[in-house]
Structure 1
Amino acid sequence: MKNSPISELSVDARKFLVKRDDLIDPYLAGNKYRKLYTLLKTTPDKIDKIISYGGTQSNAMLAIAAMCKEKAWEFIYYSKPISKTQKLSSVGNYFNSITLGMKHIEIEHSLYRDFISSLRVSIDAKTFIIEQGGAVQEAKKGLEVLAQEIRAANLSVKSLATPSGTGTTALFLALSLPEYKVYTTPCVGDVGYLKTQMQALEEIPKNLIILEPKKKYHFAKPYPEFYVIYKKLLDAGIEFDLLYAPAMWEALLSQTKEEILYIHSGGVSGNGSMLQRYLAIDARKSNL
């Protein structure tokens, strides 16, 4: 497993450190690389097929597609119906995942929940199901490796931060580094939803601090303030994803004061499609 470097970043006159997991691989990077550690170490003959599900902006979807391409495993991904615009787009996580060989199957909204619940009923021994966002116990080993890298860096900082979808990364990182304070914030749903997702895996440790967003954000929806934060960070020298990072940075800048090591969770490969949406919003405003 590759050891990612650490960069310095100055934002709003504050110094941050950034663990550059985004530099590990163009597609299989960030926290998804860590979550898939056990499967990456699995020999190709042990598995024939990977099944997963969720949104089609998903960074996990793209990481799994890249892994399956490398291992020559079939990859089937289920989602609710998507727009014709997204299907025809030549940028973003969905396009890249299809290019890597992912088979995408749409399930009607009314049938989706029951269908996902039934996925495990008839799978064979060589099929592996990855829960939405990579929320599986197998992710724990990869986060333990990340924890070892952070300890080995012998940093003066004692606070970490990483955004949360299912909360898998933040949870296992906090469990692996009890001597650190670990900040996170929900980027999918609210704090209650995030706690429920985490508690399905392990008990939430006391050193994991969930920062409440200033308002409820809907996942993958463009927000002007997110674009402002994205540009601020880009101008400071590092590109972050537009889905998770802005919410985490907004919370850190407004609710914390100490020096923090931010775990870059990757996902910048999906920025192309999100930036198109922001540019479309700007164009509409200009025409008013």
Structure 2
Amino acid sequence: MLSKAECSLKIPSEIDKIFLDGRAFYVKRDDLVDPFLAGNKFRKLYALLQTPSNKLNQIISYGGTQSNAMLAIAAMCKSKGWEFTYYTKPLSQTLKDEDCGNFYHAKELGMKHVEIQHNFYKDFISSLRFNLDEKTFIIDQGGAVAEAKEGLEVLAKEIKEANSNVRSLATPSGTGTTALFLALTLSEYRVYTTPCVGDAAYLREQMSALCEIPDNLIILEPQKKYHFAKPYKEFLDIWQKLLQNKIEFDLIYSPSLWISLLEQTDEEILYVHSGGVSGNDSMLNRYRQKGFL
């Protein structure tokens, strides 16, 4: 059962209508679920959130320090009283000293951070599951675990119960877990996504590791090659346009999908907000350093 604190999470999330470049879109406001434990990461962690606190005592994960999953796991562990250890490759001192962004907030929530040297990182991550005790649980990078299916089925149920005439959904992809399980559960919907880490081939590989990709899942390949978490003027431009609708989206995952939706689709679409806005402060600093702001 959910704890008293977790029962206060804002679910089911509301749906708002917005306008972008003369087109109407709908937004599933999963960003409002919780300041840190929000968006697709809340959905992916849904099963763990229902796990009694005494069943586990430690969560282990790994990845990048811009990760929305990292912050969401830290918030969950804080709520549950679980220790959270997060492994990364070596970080710059500048990043360690930042007083904003996902990495800073995750540490404030009690995350234990461990750096692994580049040449040992891959083998170390592969060894994490050796000799685990029954009270330790590993969450792969980005929250890409089979247990995510349960929470995304809850999201799919909310979408169905909204009784909307919209039959196309959109959500950006890192590992593709959210888009994949939504498409599997909502076979009557078209589900659009874009690869934000690597290209479409890499995204298909990540999703195929979980299960077969259904025909209703459509990967929109951006017309321009974007490098993950790098500032782009067109990303800032569309983010600022979306902000005029009084909804803040993240600056890493959402811009390339919004650009692709405008360029490659024309129907009404429900965009599932994936959260991640807590990392915008640190990204905006990078845009300022580039002279874009």
1:169 aligned to which of 169, 174, 178: 178
Residues in 2 aligned to 1:243 and 1:124: alpha-carbon distance in whole angstroms: 35
Residues in 2 aligned to 1:182 and 1:120: alpha-carbon distance in whole angstroms: 33
Deviation at 1:203, TM superposition (A): 0.4
Matched with 1:3 is 12
Matched with 1:139 is 148
Matched with 2:234 is 225
2:257 aligned to which of 248, 265, 281: 248
Deviation at 1:215, TM superposition (A): 2.2
Residues in 2 aligned to 1:101 and 1:32: alpha-carbon distance in whole angstroms: 18
Q: How does 1:38-77 map to 2 (within 5 A)?
A: 38-77=47-86
227-236 or 32-41, which deviates more: 227-236
Matched with 2:248 is 239
1:88 aligned to which of 79, 97, 107: 97
Q: Cα deviation per residue 1:144-180 (whole Å; 9 max; x = unaligned)?
A: 0000000000001100000000000000000010000
Residues in 1 aligned to 2:170 and 2:141: alpha-carbon distance in whole angstroms: 21
Determine whether 1:97 maps to 2:106.
yes
1:266 aligned to which of 269, 275, 282: 275
Residues in 2 aligned to 1:157 and 1:26: alpha-carbon distance in whole angstroms: 28
Determine whether 1:115 maps to 2:124.
yes
- Residue identity matched to 2:178: T
- Residue identity matched to 2:109: L
- Residue identity matched to 1:162: T
- Whether contact under 8 Å (1:189, 1:216) holds in the other structure is no
| Matched residue SS, 1:236 | coil
Deviation at 1:83, TM superposition (A): 1.1
Deviation at 1:33, TM superposition (A): 0.2
Matched with 1:187 is 196
- Residue identity matched to 1:104: H
| Structure 1, unpaired ranges of 5+ | none
Q: Calculate the TM-score normalised by the size of structure 1.
A: 0.97
- Whether contact under 8 Å (1:167, 1:197) holds in the other structure is yes
Residues in 1 aligned to 2:246 and 2:138: alpha-carbon distance in whole angstroms: 37
Deviation at 1:243, TM superposition (A): 0.8
Counting aligned pairs with the same residue, the percent is 67
| Structure 2, unpaired ranges of 5+ | 1-8
230-239 or 152-161, which deviates more: 230-239
Deviation at 1:192, TM superposition (A): 0.6
RMSD value, Cα: 1.0
Matched with 2:3 is none
Residues in 2 aligned to 1:118 and 1:55: alpha-carbon distance in whole angstroms: 18
Deviation at 1:100, TM superposition (A): 0.1
- Residue identity matched to 2:171: T
| Matched residue SS, 2:244 | helix
Q: Cα deviation per residue 1:225-280 (whole Å; 9 max; x = unaligned)?
A: 11111111112321100010001101101100001000000000000100011011
Residues in 2 aligned to 1:218 and 1:124: alpha-carbon distance in whole angstroms: 38
Deviation at 1:213, TM superposition (A): 1.1
| Matched residue SS, 2:13 | coil
Matched with 1:15 is 24
Determine whether 1:208 maps to 2:217.
yes
| Matched residue SS, 2:187 | coil
Deviation at 1:216, TM superposition (A): 2.1
Matched with 1:149 is 158
| Number of residues of Structure 1 aligned to a counterpart in Structure 2 | 284
Residues in 2 aligned to 1:137 and 1:73: alpha-carbon distance in whole angstroms: 21
Residues in 2 aligned to 1:27 and 1:249: alpha-carbon distance in whole angstroms: 23
**Ranges of 4+ aligned residues in structure 1 off by more than 3 Å:** none
Residues in 2 aligned to 1:93 and 1:122: alpha-carbon distance in whole angstroms: 30
| Matched residue SS, 1:282 | coil
Deviation at 1:122, TM superposition (A): 2.1
- Whether contact under 8 Å (1:80, 1:112) holds in the other structure is yes
